[in-house]
Amino acid sequence: MKSYNTPLGELKIELFGHAAVHFTINGKNWYLDPYCDVCSFEGKAPADFILITHDHYDHYDEEALVHIVQDHTILVVPPVVPRKHYNYEVLKNGDSCTLDGVTITAVPAYNINNLNDQDQPFHPEGVGNGYILDLGGFKIYFAGDTEFIPFMKTLKDIDIAFLPKNLPYTMPDAEFVRAANTIKPAVLYPYHYFELNPKALRAEIDPQIKMVMNGHDY
């Protein structure tokens, strides 16, 4: 787990794999897109808050949720995610809510060029979410399943960014590098990748951006 100081207290981050992230803020347990294929969630810390980006099986995984959801857990989801018997905050692109002092804003995440067999985007615009978390001015950007999109050019003062890298669903290497160098986060976590050459990416990314993989700085 990597630790960071924020105005709301210590932030600890652990990337399990794929898009599954666990982080703690002031002792509260947050999860993003828990997914059992990359981690067994049995025995993991009970969730206070869970962020779900969209309804694909590798992001909305009921098998993972049953191990970490408690009576008090709140799930933050886009409208496309099925809502069953949990507590929900439903956010579409542009909506915000505040949970335990953390302001969560749902932002665009979609494909422009990457299409499925029906010539439709794998992730249509306006359906899934990325999220920006504002911890008293310390900002985390979870991009979700997306390509490099115009919205990214508007981002400023991002402290930590999670950007996806894989084809055909998100970004190839060159596009990932372009997104990182446009956003210019202080810290960059590549995620949602099938394969990755950290040294090759490091050579192309702005040297002022610290890249983290497998708990190590690059």
Count Cα neighbours of 46 within 13 Å in the Cβ-side half-sphere: 7
Contact between 146 and 170 under an 8 Å Cβ cutoff? The reply is yes
Does 113 have pLDDT greater than 90? no
Closest to 179 (Cα-Cα) out of 106, 170, 93: 170
Q: Which residue has the higher pLDDT, 131 or 38?
A: 131
Task: Determine the Cα–Cα distance for residues 15 and 127; give it in Å rounded to an integer.
Answer: 24
Task: Determine the Cα–Cα distance for residues 44 and 67; give it in Å rounded to an integer.
Answer: 7
Contact between 53 and 33 under an 8 Å Cβ cutoff? The reply is yes
pLDDT of residue 132: 99
The matching CATH number, chosen from 3.40.50.10140, 3.20.20.70, 3.60.15.10, 3.40.50.150, for 2-212 is: 3.60.15.10
Q: List the chain domain ranges.
A: 2-212
pLDDT of residue 64: 96
Model-level pTM? Answer: 0.95
Task: Determine the Cα–Cα distance for residues 141 and 155; give it in Å rounded to an integer.
Answer: 9
pLDDT of residue 46: 98
The per-residue b/e assignment along 102-121, b for 16 or more CB within 10 angstroms, e otherwise, is: bebbbbbbbbeebeeeeeeb
- Interval 156-170 mean pLDDT: 94
Does 114 have pLDDT greater than 90? no
Contact between 152 and 182 under an 8 Å Cβ cutoff? The reply is yes
> What residues contact 135, with CB distance under 8 A and at least 6 apart?
6, 7, 8, 11, 25, 101, 102
Does 10 have pLDDT greater than 90? yes
- Alpha helices (H) in 98-215, listed in sequence order: 173-183, 198-204
Does 116 have pLDDT greater than 90? no
- Interval 75-85 mean pLDDT: 94
Question: How confident is the model over 183-213, as pLDDT tens digits?
Answer: 999 999 999 988 888 889 999 999 999 999 8
